[in-house]
């Protein structure tokens, strides 16, 4: 590295975010950038560690350790240090089709595996990634590069989330004629309607990328649900290969008393409607589920739950609680969570930070189970009944179970309950019409690497194949399924995992 002692000389520094009480007044992104000089010092912290675990992309203890895209992180860290931003973007784009997405929404397993992080705060890899990408766009160094030769092979990609977009980008660069089908009115899938605008700007980031892909030759057909608006038979007849990247969109339900009351919603219904109304009318059409002046309870402690918290605050809710059935994570790595595993530690995300600023405390309540919803005489939710639990861990290493603690029952006022408890797999109708096999978890059955389903010429990738996962894993699978599909169409593939569009 250019600065072998940088990790000793410089402390980890991240850019400040916009102040919570300021940013909750709008839907704009809240992250800011460091100056070039400051981020060059952060690039200097990347040490000449010999084995850069940051880009290994291994699965350890059920979670990613290092970057699943195998980003060449030490290379572009060094280029940042040397102020060579153009080369840094070229190196980043070799392995990542959409660094502007991952640099904003990835939980950074790369940083969890950073060698500096063994005994010091890790290198600010995620912030380097988004800065490299944003500078390339700001300095107008990102241009459409359609392929010079077309193969005339036609590929249909069903679903335009990160896996579908990555597959489309790769196969288009290989010269195939790519059509992406999306049932929503805008392409992007999870990136468009699953992640709020303040975390990932839709117009200036997501739509900017899909516009570029369209200029390069990718065709997007929106408001079109395959199997309903476009028959499976027609799809098979018109295309040489089909790739299913339909996501894991079947939400985990909470089948308890009062579930059918008005005011109980899946988190994704709440988030998607809010983003669509925001894009359509700046929320003036009222075609969304409003939390204004309501007592909101978010059930679930992951990223989706946090997004519900932040969205509800921007609606100006009256009160807010976030219920988590699991115990609170430790503030530092526990002995059974060593480096380079992903650090399972307590994090105060943007939503909790905003809730603390508005209501005076972190909204999360741990080891709390919801027992029933209670409504008024008109069928509207009015309260939630909860109980504290303790976790029993079987001596044989079996599945731990929560046990209610008598005497800890509570009643909480609630006008709006949002279920953010994860996802159970892809929706059924299209898969049943195609006749593809499913695995025991109801995901599409297709081995990683081959990605072939039980139906000839039909491939599957992303969350619909692997289950609910990270955006970075979806891009990994989109790139990999593109190589498998290209091999199927041409007999061999020149897609080695590198993109050509710099």
Per domain, the residue ranges of the chain are: 6-138, 154-248+424-490, 264-419
Q: Which residues contact 387 (CB under 8 A, 6 or more apart)?
A: 368, 369, 371, 404, 405, 408, 409, 410
pLDDT confidence of residue 215: 98
Mean pLDDT per segment of 10 residues, for the chain of length 502 residues?
87 96 98 94 92 90 90 95 97 96 96 95 97 97 96 98 98 98 98 97 98 98 97 97 97 97 98 98 98 98 96 98 96 93 94 98 97 97 98 85 96 98 96 97 96 98 96 96 98 72 37
Handedness of CA 251, 252, 255, 256 (dihedral sign): negative
Q: Which residues contact 496 (CB under 8 A, 6 or more apart)?
A: 483
d(CA 363, CA 154): 50
d(CA 57, CA 74): 14
d(CA 39, CA 68): 24
| Domain 154-248+424-490, CATH homologous superfamily name and number | FAD/NAD(P)-binding domain (3.50.50.60)
Helix, strand or coil, per DSSP, at residue 407:
coil
The reported pTM is 0.95
Note the CATH number of domain 264-419: 3.50.50.60
Q: What's the farthest any 2 CA atoms get from each other in the chain?
A: 71
pLDDT confidence of residue 497: 55
Helix, strand or coil, per DSSP, at residue 174:
coil
Contact by Cβ (8 Å): 80, 489: no
d(CA 408, CA 33): 46
* Bridge partners for 251 per DSSP: 423
What DSSP assignment string belongs to 228-291? Answer: TTB-HHHHHHH-SEEEE------BPP--SBTTTSBTEEEHHHHHHHHHHHHHHHTTTT--S---
Handedness of CA 18, 162, 282, 380 (dihedral sign): negative
Q: Which residues contact 84 (CB under 8 A, 6 or more apart)?
A: none
Which tokens hold the place of 213? 């892909």
d(CA 74, CA 47): 8
pLDDT confidence of residue 501: 39
Q: Which residues contact 201 (CB under 8 A, 6 or more apart)?
A: 28, 29
pLDDT confidence of residue 1: 67
Contact by Cβ (8 Å): 38, 149: no
| 111-131 as b/e: b if 16+ CB within 10 A | bbbbbbbeeeebbbbbbbbbb
pLDDT confidence of residue 498: 43
264-419: same fold as 154-248+424-490?
yes
pLDDT confidence of residue 500: 41
Which tokens hold the place of 243? 């790739």
What DSSP assignment string belongs to 178-242? Answer: EEEE-SSSSTTTIIIIIS-TTTS-IIIIIHHHHHHHHHTT-EEE-S--BTTTB-HHHHHHH-SEE
d(CA 167, CA 180): 10
CATH topology of domain 6-138: Fumarate Reductase Iron-sulfur Protein; Chain B, domain 2 (1.10.1060)
Closest-CA residue to 358 (of 25, 27, 15, 29): 25
Which tokens hold the place of 157? 């990609």
């Amino acid at each position: 590295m250019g600065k072998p002692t940088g990790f000793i000389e410089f402390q980890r520094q991240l850019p400040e975010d916009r102040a919570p009480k300021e940013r909750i007044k709008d839907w704009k992104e809240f992250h800011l950038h460091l100056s070039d000089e400051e981020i060059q010092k952060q690039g200097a912290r990347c040490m000449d560690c010999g084995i850069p675990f940051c880009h290994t992309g291994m699965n350890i203890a059920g979670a990613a350790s290092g970057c699943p895209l195998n980003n060449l992180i030490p290379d572009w860290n060094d280029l940042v240090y040397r102020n060579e931003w153009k080369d840094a973007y070229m190196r980043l784009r070799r392995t990542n089709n959409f660094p502007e997405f991952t640099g904003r929404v990835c939980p950074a397993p790369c940083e969890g595996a950073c060698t500096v992080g063994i005994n010091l705060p890790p290198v600010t890899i995620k912030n380097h990634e988004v800065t490299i990408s944003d500078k390339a766009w700001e300095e107008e160094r990102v241009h459409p590069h359609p392929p010079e030769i077309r193969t005339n092979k036609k590929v249909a990609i069903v679903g335009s989330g990160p896996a579908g977009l990555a597959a489309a980008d790769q196969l288009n660069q290989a010269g195939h004629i790519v059509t992406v089908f999306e049932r929503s009115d805008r392409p992007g899938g999870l990136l468009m309607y699953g992640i709020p605008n303040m975390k990932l700007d839709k117009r200036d980031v997501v739509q900017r990328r899909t516009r570029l892909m369209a200029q390069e030759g990718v065709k997007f057909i929106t408001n079109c649900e395959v199997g309903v608006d476009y028959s499976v038979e027609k799809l098979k007849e018109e295309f040489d290969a089909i790739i299913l990247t339909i996501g894991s969109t079947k939400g985990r339900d909470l089948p308890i008393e009062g579930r059918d009351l008005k005011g109980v919603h899946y988190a994704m219904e709440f988030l998607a409607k809010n983003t669509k109304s925001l894009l359509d009318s700046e929320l003036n059409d009222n075609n969304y589920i409003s939390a204004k002046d309501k007592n909101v309870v978010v059930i679930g402690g992951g990223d989706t739950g946090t997004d519900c918290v932040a969205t509800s605050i921007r609606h100006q809710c009256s009160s807010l609680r976030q219920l988590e059935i699991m115990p609170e994570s430790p503030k530092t790595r526990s002995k059974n969570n060593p480096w380079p595993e992903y650090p399972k530690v307590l994090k105060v995300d943007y939503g909790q930070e905003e809730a603390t600023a508005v209501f005076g405390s972190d909204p999360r309540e741990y080891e709390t189970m919801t027992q029933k919803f209670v409504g008024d005489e008109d069928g509207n939710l009015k309260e939630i009944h909860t109980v504290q639990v303790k976790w029993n861990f079987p001596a044989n290493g079996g599945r731990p179970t929560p046990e209610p603690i008598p005497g800890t029952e509570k009643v909480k006022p609630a006008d709006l309950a949002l279920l953010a408890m994860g996802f159970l797999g892809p929706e059924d109708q299209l898969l049943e019409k195609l006749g593809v096999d499913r695995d025991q978890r109801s995901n599409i059955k297709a081995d990683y690497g081959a990605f072939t389903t039980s139906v000839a010429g039909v491939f599957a990738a992303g969350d619909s194949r692997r289950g609910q996962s990270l955006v970075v894993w979806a891009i990994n699978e989109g790139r990999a399924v593109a190589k498998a599909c290209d091999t199927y169409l041409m007999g061999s593939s020149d897609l080695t995992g590198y993109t050509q569009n710099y």
